[in-house]
Chains A and B, each alone.
Chain A
Amino acid sequence: MKSLEDLKKLREQAQDRMTMRMDEEQKYRVVVGMATCGIAAGARPVLNALVEEVAKTKAPAVVLQTGCIGMCTLEPIVEVFDKNNEKTTYVLVDALKAKEIVEKHILKDEVIDEYTVGKYKK
């Protein structure tokens, strides 16, 4: 290491690998229902897609998993919490929709109405 610039470069690289441990709170909390019903309905690829997309786009979100959210027929369910703990619930999510949620909701703060539980019709 020859200069302060080198240190900065190394720091940025290293930070990418430990974003989940950084002190500052992220803007959004993305929670995936991962109970048996969720996993059976395909929550795992959704979770993986979310994690990958957040990492790739450096979106301001932390991706967590939780147990059964309660509406097993609508799984996979993804909930997005903002800083005020206001919740948006997306239902019947797949990997493609998950990517879209990151692109629109997390990065541009646009709620995707048509995927939310409110818009769901039998």
Chain B
Amino acid sequence: MERIQVLVCAGTGCTIGNSGELIEAFEAEIKSLGLDKEISVLRTGCLGLCGVGPNIAIYPDNIIYKTVQVADVKEIVMEHFYKGRPVHRLMLNESDQDTNEVHDINKTQFYAKQKRIALHNCGVIDPENIEEYIAKDGYTALGKVITEMTSQEVVDIMKASGLRGRGGGGFLTGLKWQFALNETSEQKYVICNADEGDPGAFMDRSILEGNPHSVIEAMAIAGYAIQANYGYIYIRAEYPIAVERLENAIKQAKELGLLGDNIFGTDFSFDLEIRLGAGAFVCGEETALIQSIEGERGMPRPKPPFPAHKGVWGKPTIINNVETYANISQIILNGADWFKSIGTETSSGTKVFALGGKITNTGLVEVPMGTTLREIIYEIGGGCPNHKRFKAVQTGGPSGGCLTESQLDTPIGFDELVKLGSMMGSGGMIVLDEDNCMVDVARFYMDFIVDESCGKCSPCRIGTKRMLELLELICNGEGTMETLDELEVLAATIKDTALCGLGQTAPNPVLSTLEQFKEEYIAHIVDKKCPAGVCKALLSYVIDEDKCRKCGLCARKCPTNAISGELGKVPYVIDQEKCIKCGSCVTACPFHVVERK
């Protein structure tokens, strides 16, 4: 009789951390103790704590073990599964260390403030087994919708719930569906936008890896709501695990008749297929995505006509993001009022954020809208590691901006973030500390945009390149105060004239850092210094001649032979011409006399 279930995270992060071998090791160890009838090992989706992976969850104890290595497996099986003593040193449940008691994982700091709706099955079910999804009320919402409700009623629930698009724009999902339902056409389409591209954002991937059926079910519901019978999931080929799980999930749903003709014995039919994208950022823009599905080069076109009117193959189409879909069956099952009761007046429900950068708990968190940035970064995220000072948090990816310490108490919502000059975006949240140079951050995002600009309109194609060049000038210490003015003029022009959202929002990272951290720009231009010590052209490494003990270790480590001196006799000096500012000498010097200026 089964008494313990071991769920090993098989998301991308933990798979890289070797969770595949962990599964085999667990199975072998459990078998060798003859416990294989009592304990089963399953794979599951993202538990959220990607920074400390590979993670495994143990039920019914509700314990999470973090950073589990193959070498730990024997101890876990013997101590925990055989003798009933949880292995404290691997436990995530941090509060336990005082009381020695096994607490519910939901009471730990990382999970206590979270509310998982979009991620609700991730880390709980086996994503490759449709029955586990069904056990957690999967496909019940679809059944309810197509046997008990009219299309208009479904759209009305979506409207009443206040659900807004989680992909970035925050457009009301119900309204989008209403537009598509109003169109009269014998063929309409439902698209899932899984072309997640913001640097640092990976919630869509984790949902598809951990709970693929939630998206498939929601697309079928959307199909019923707008009277479409065909769907496309547009996903980037760089997400091989997500693609594999989706393919498997679609196959299983078809086998059970949950996709295909006459679903639940009604006359509603719905089918879908996966379209792989080549990983162009611009294809996340809906008109470019449609082009790409049609086999054309992914380039945006002017709107209107909006996709709801004229979308893929010229037919009415709705496009929603993965995370938006992941909320839908929950809204149908629990009602619009339930969803509306979570979050804020204008932003209902929850939002998944991908915490990254200089943060202790790197990973995925899902919180109710209205939670403050401070709660997310400090209470859930654990603040900046190594006692570094928090400087800013970048939200909204290359279309967003940076928020500073003074803005951390803002409750999160679509409108609130826009007011502060940033945006929700898809939910990437990159934390920056005192070691990050804001000019360099702006340069990084602009570099990304220049790479990803499709080249169709000149403001984006040429304008962003010019902006990047200006930023590089500043980083190299060659900028002047006029450079800043030029940046501002260019930014305003691009915002006003670019064709699509990618171009229109591209100047945002520059504008927001310019506004919040102008003194850093000025330090680069006037003092020729990079206060954070990132911009290499403005750095120099100098050995204090008086304190040098002439050991020569720095010279041995220097990759460009820029350091000269004589062992025990002549103090060492760095040739600034040859120095590539790699910093090896700083770490090599046992007496800490190499200074970074």
Residues of A within 8 A of B (CB): 1-4, 7, 10-11, 13-15, 17-18, 20-21, 32-36, 38-39, 47-48, 51-52, 55, 62-67
Hey, which chain A residues are within 8 Å of B232, CB to CB?
Answer: none
Query: CB of B257 within 8 A of chain A?
Result: yes
**Interface members, chain B 103-159 (any A CB < 8 Å):** 124-125, 131-132, 134-135, 137-140, 143-144, 147
Is A14 in contact with B82, judged by CB distance below 8 angstroms?
no
Beyond A15-B135, A39-B82, 10 extra complex contacts between A and B, CB < 8 Å: A17-B131, A21-B5, A21-B7, A47-B3, A48-B3, A48-B38, A51-B3, A51-B38, A64-B102, A66-B85
CB pair B1–A55 under 8 Å, yes or no, is yes
**B134 partner residues in chain A, CB cutoff 8 A:** 7, 10-11, 14
Complex CA gap A89/B568 in Å reads 74
Known: A11-B137, A14-B135, A36-B83. A20 touches B264 (CB 8 A): no
Taking the closest CB of chain B, its distance from the CB of A8, in whole angstroms, is 8
**CA A47 to CA B39, docked complex, whole Å:** 13
Chain B interface, DSSP helix/strand/loop, else mixed: loop
A37 to chain B, nearest CB (A): 10
If the complex has contacts A1-B264, A4-B147, A34-B82, are A21 and B124 also in contact, measured as CB distance less than 8 A?
yes
Q: In the complex the two chains form, is B84's CB within 8 Å of A65's CB? A: yes
| Contacting pair B59 A67 (CB below 8 A) | no
Contacting pair B3 A39 (CB below 8 A): no
- Considering the complex, give the chain A residue whose CB is closest to the CB of B133: A14
In the complex, the answer to whether B143 meets A32 with C-beta atoms within 8 Å is no
**B132 near A11 (CB under 8 angstroms)?**
no
Q: How far is the CA of A36 from the CA of B1 in the complex (A)?
A: 22
Q: Which of B84, B135, B137, B140 contacts A18, CB < 8 Å?
A: B135
Instruction: Give chain B residues whose Cβ lies under 8 Å from the Cβ of A35.
Output: 83-85
Q: Which residues of B contact A1 (CB under 8 A)?
A: 256-258, 264
Contact B140 A14 (CB under 8 A): no
Cα(A33)–Cα(B143), bound, Å: 45
Q: Give complex CA distance A35, B86 in Å.
A: 12
**B135:A32 contact, CB within 8 angstroms:** no
Contact partners of B144 in chain A: CB under 8 A: 4
* Contact, CB under 8 Å: A7 / B139: yes
In the complex with contacts A1-B257, A7-B134, A34-B83, A64-B264 CB distance below 8 A:
no
> For B132, what are the chain A residues with a Cβ–Cβ distance below 8 Å?
14, 18
Instruction: List the B residue with the shortest CB-CB distance to A31.
Output: B84
Nearest neighbor of A50 in chain B, beta-carbon distance: B3
B 143-185 binary contact with A (CB < 8 Å = 1; else 0): 1100100000000000000000000000000000000000000
Partner of B264, one of A3, A11, A32, A52: A3
A66 surroundings in chain B (CB, below 8 A): 84-85, 102
The answer on a CB contact under 8 Å between B84 and A7 is no
Across the A-B interface, the 6 shortest Cβ-Cβ residue pairs: A65-B84, A34-B84, A14-B135, A20-B60, A14-B131, A67-B85
Q: Which residue on chain B has the smallest CB distance to residue A25?
A: B104
- In the complex, what residues of B have CB within 8 A of residue A4's CB? 143-144, 147, 264
Given contacts A21-B124, A65-B84, contact A10 B1 (CB under 8 A): no
Bound Cα distance from A65 to B81, whole angstroms: 8
> B265 at interface (Cβ–Cβ under 8 A)?
yes
Which residue of chain B has the shortest Cβ distance to A67 in the bound complex? B85
Write the nearest CB–CB distance from A104 to chain B, whole angstroms. Answer: 20
Among B59, B83, B258, B265, find the residue whose CB has the most chain A CB atoms closer than 10 A.
B83
B435 at interface by CB-CB < 8 Å: no
Among the interface residues A35, A38, A67, which one has the most CB atoms of the partner chain B within 10 A? A67
Measured between alpha carbons, how far is A62 from B422 in the docked complex, in Å? 47
B333-368 CB mask vs A (1 if < 8 Å, else 0) is 000000000000000000000000000000000000
Residues of chain A with a CB closer than 8 A to B60's CB = 20-21, 62-64
| Chain A min CB distance to B224 (Å) | 14
Neighbouring B residues of A47 by C-beta, 8 Å: 3
Bound together, the chains give a CA A65 to CA B7 distance in angstroms of 18
A sample of 19 inter-chain contacts (CB < 8 A) reads A3-B264, A4-B147, A7-B139, A7-B140, A10-B134, A10-B256, A11-B138, A13-B131, A15-B135, A20-B4, A21-B5, A34-B84, A35-B83, A38-B84, A39-B83, A51-B1, A55-B1, A63-B3, A67-B84
- Give chain B interface residues in 12-52, CB to chain A under 8 Å: 38
